Structure 1
Amino acid sequence: MPQVNPHILVWAREAAGLGIDEAARTLQLGGARQSGTEALEAYEQGTKAPSRPLLLKMAKVYRRPLLTFYLPHPPVKSERGEDFRTLPGGRDFESASKLDALVRDVFVRQRLVRSILEDTDEAQPLNFVGSITLAQPARRAAKVICERLSFDVAEFRRKKSVEESFNYLRALTEKLGVFVLLIGNLGTHHTALSTDIFRGFALAEKVAPFIVVNDQDAKVAWSFTLLHELVHIWLGRTGLSGADFEQQIEQFCNDIASEMLLPEAEMDQLRVGGERHEVISAISDFASRRKVSRTLVAYRLLKRHQIDRKQWLDLTAEFRRSWEAERAKKKEQAADAAGGPNYYVVKRHRVGNALVEVTRRAIAEGFVTPTKAGRILGVRPTNVQALVGAA
């Protein structure tokens, strides 16, 4: 059996965002004579060789293929597009490794889906990917995307809730051949990634492009993020979106997504002035009637110079505090409530009907194993059949 380079063990753990103590606990190492941390240190220092069962466990915990542990040295980090090089604003977050693990996982899922489409002769390159440039006026680009998407803002607003509005937009996007996932963690609430880390990202591939929306964000913001990432795909720019709205690409995507959800002509109907609470009330009412977030409305006011940057920062901070308080309240209510939604229905909603349907067909036609299907859908192989059959 090939020897395992201990440097690989250190690299894999750190790349997964795990400290040595946390990793040792998760791997259930240690016993009466030696602590878990000491046991893991022995493996990472090369004084003890890991067994194959332990490597299998490490592969699962560190989210790496088993073969990775038999490489002669840690692989070089791959390029993932302009906006994947650093976190938004160049800030150094402790969650960077978790975000990297999430992006890597979605890349693998996208490649598996692309392979299925190629095997079934359904891999038709999407001609709108990379069809616009940053030189194009935002309003014109918004019109082009709306027409190709068959997006009707009036229909979007007629939905009973912001969730239904998002589902309407998501269905149109998936009909184009773009897969839309709701993901905000690595499988558990302990690995949740805040919107300070990312709001969404896009894999702008010609075949099977993917959009990921961070479901840790307010639901009213999901539609904007989806459209923002869709613009990334129209630009042909794989990238990560977050808080740095001043980047040229981010501004361009924001402007187009804003115009689609809230046409410029409508902004003339909003007058802000008076006391702070009056401004907040006016924005809240305006946003609610249009199924968009208050932060989006504030952004448009800033772009139109109806409020200054100081006001914008104050308003967005207030809207953030308000949302966090409401979210905490809902979590308490959910904890007190008996039962909850079916796991498979929730999971299907998060991965999207398009991804489930492609996987279902591939299983039926024998193109994928349950193991690969589980990787695509983000569930255990034993849960695949129940998921693809969920209503």
Structure 2
Amino acid sequence: MKVAVNAQVLEWALDRSLRRESLEQKFPKLSGWRDGDALPTFRQLHNFAKAAAVPFGYLLLQAPPVEQLPIANFRTVSGESGSGFSPELIDTIQAMQRRQVWMREYLIAEGHDRLPFVGSDRIDTDPVMIARNIRGVLGIDENWAANQPNWSNALSALIRLVELAGIMVMSNGIVENNTHRKLDPQEFRGFVLVDDYAPLVFLNGADGKAARMFTLAHELAHIWIGVSAAFDLRELQPADNENERACNRIAAEFLVPSVVLAEVWPQVHGRDNPFQLLAKRFKVSEIVAARRLLDMGFIARAEFMKFYRAWQDQEQRLAKKAGDDGGGDFYANQNIRIGNRFGDLLTRSVQAGTTLYTDAWRLTGLKKNTFQEYAQKIFGRSV
């Protein structure tokens, strides 16, 4: 069966995919489809839609659709909101929205109350006060990180505390479980979906692990001021937006309190690797420590940029070598992608019979047997 397709729609699909050259090589008859010299079969068009990560129905339209992200997309370099986004970002946000909708409905049905801290602060409130409010909800003080053996343990501990507070945290470097669809940290480091019952934080797992601590803190700030967004945070610098600037100040104060940094900096200034010493003290990445020094006027921008470029090159090499959290236990990695809080309540609901198996498989991206193994190995539940 042949299918007529609009040439402008095909062009739109190619541009949207950000993989024009590879798609043209994979579908050599594509130029004929666009010129009207040939028509694709239903199967060929379906295969093209899958390869281009475009909903099949879009290809049957008479004009290109106008797509918009469901949340603001703040880019540091361009300063544009909601433009030039990839299908990987769109699909990931939509997948997380489906999880959030399920979680919100589940919590309401179970009689849970709204989370009082969501949207509890204003962007013009002193960042020191908001950072203190966040620590209060999480049950930690300004020196909480000093008690952690390293930044990796500190990040894991912080995620556990964030989830205990009622916030879902998920991290993935690909679209669900599709290893052919990688997420680009140059496009976004993370995003946050604010909700008064089920706020959700997503960390780009393709980003350097050390950078995720700042992303998480930035997303927590968004929850406290009540604004959803996606962001790239180039050079750990926010986009030219009032909310983004406020969230960056809050995140920096949360991770590296200004009072403590002012006390510690004279002790390490002039020593070898001062950024590394500060990173160990506050359990953040060296780039976060350097950025905080720049913002507080302790180092010049030229010094920061020199260090940033060297750090970025090193992070990219490490990311290519390590891949997307591919090592370690498969089900533990799945729990990072799915989120411990979400996975816990979802498997609990499936076991109780209040959520269908098919819905659980759709929400997690896991097949039947894999989902059952995940529930058993991570939560000790037979579903």
Which TM-score bucket, shorter chain as reference?
Answer: 0.7 to 0.9
Q: Structure 1 residues 383, 140: closer, same or farther in 2, change over 3 A?
A: same
Deviates more, 1:355-364 or 1:251-260: 355-364
Aligned residue among 76, 86, 92 for 1:88: 76
Aligned CA distance change for structure 1 residues 106 and 311 (closer, same or farther; 3 Å): same
Match among 27, 36, 41 for residue 50 of structure 1 = 41
Kindly state the Cα deviation for residue 89 of structure 1 after the two structures are TM-superposed.
1.7
Range that drifts further, 119-128 or 252-261 = 119-128
Do 1:156 and 1:168's aligned partners in 2 also have CA atoms closer than 8 Å? no
* Residues 23 and 52 in structure 2, CA contact (< 8 A), matched pair in contact too: no
CA distance in 1 between counterparts of 2:99 and 2:333 reads 22
Match of 1:384 in 2: 371
CA-to-aligned-CA distance 1:252-276 (integer Å, 9 cap, x gap): 22221222222222212213655xx
Match of 2:207 among 217, 233, 239: 217
1:304 Cα deviation (Å)?
1.9
Q: Structure 1, residues 138-191: CA drift from partner, whole Å, max 9, x if none?
A: 001111111122234544432333222112111121223221111233356664
Q: Which residue of 2 aligns with 1:139?
A: 128
Could you tell me how far apart the structure 2 residues matched to 1:153 and 1:352 are? 26
Change (3 A) 1:323 1:77: closer
DSSP 3-state at the match of 1:390: helix
Is this contact kept in 1: 2:335–2:343, CA < 8 A? yes
Residue type matched to 1:110 in 2? Q
The answer on 1:270 being equivalent to 2:232 is: no
2:138 is aligned with 1:149: yes
Distance 1:207 1:273, change over 3 A: closer
TM-score normalised to structure 2 length: 0.80
Matching residue of 1:162: 151
Give the CA deviation at 1:127.
3.2
Aligned residues: 364
Is 1:101 the equivalent of 2:88? Answer: yes
Confirm or deny that 1:357 pairs with 2:344: yes
Contact 1:373 1:381 in 2 (8 A): no
- Deviation per residue, 1:119-154 (Å, 9 max, x gap): 561475433222222110100111111112223454
Contact 2:2/2:39, CA 8 A, preserved across alignment: no
Tell me the residue number matched to 2:28. 37
Code of the residue aligned with 1:89 in structure 2: it is V
SS in 1 for 2:218: helix
Q: In 1, are the aligned partners of 2:151 and 2:280 still within 8 Å (CA)?
A: no
Return 5+ residue gaps in structure 2 as ranges: 379-383
| Alignment TM-score, normalising by the size of structure 1 | 0.79
Give the corresponding residue for 2:381: none
CA RMSD of the aligned region, Å?
3.4
Identity in percent: 26
Name structure 1 gaps, 5 residues minimum.
26-35
Is the Cα–Cα contact under 8 Å of residues 193 and 229 in structure 2 kept in the other structure? yes
Instruction: Give the Å deviation of 1:353.
Output: 0.7
CA distance, structure 2, for counterparts of residue 54 and residue 356 of structure 1: 37
1:229 corresponds to? 219
Answer yes or no: is the 8 Å Cα contact 1:2–1:70 preserved in 2.
no
Q: Which amino acid aligns with 1:37?
A: P
Give the corresponding residue for 1:110: 97
CA distance in 1, matches of 2:371, 2:44: 26
Name the CA shift for 1:231/1:78 in 2 (closer, same or farther; >3 Å). same
* Residue in structure 2 matched with residue 16 of structure 1 by the alignment: 17
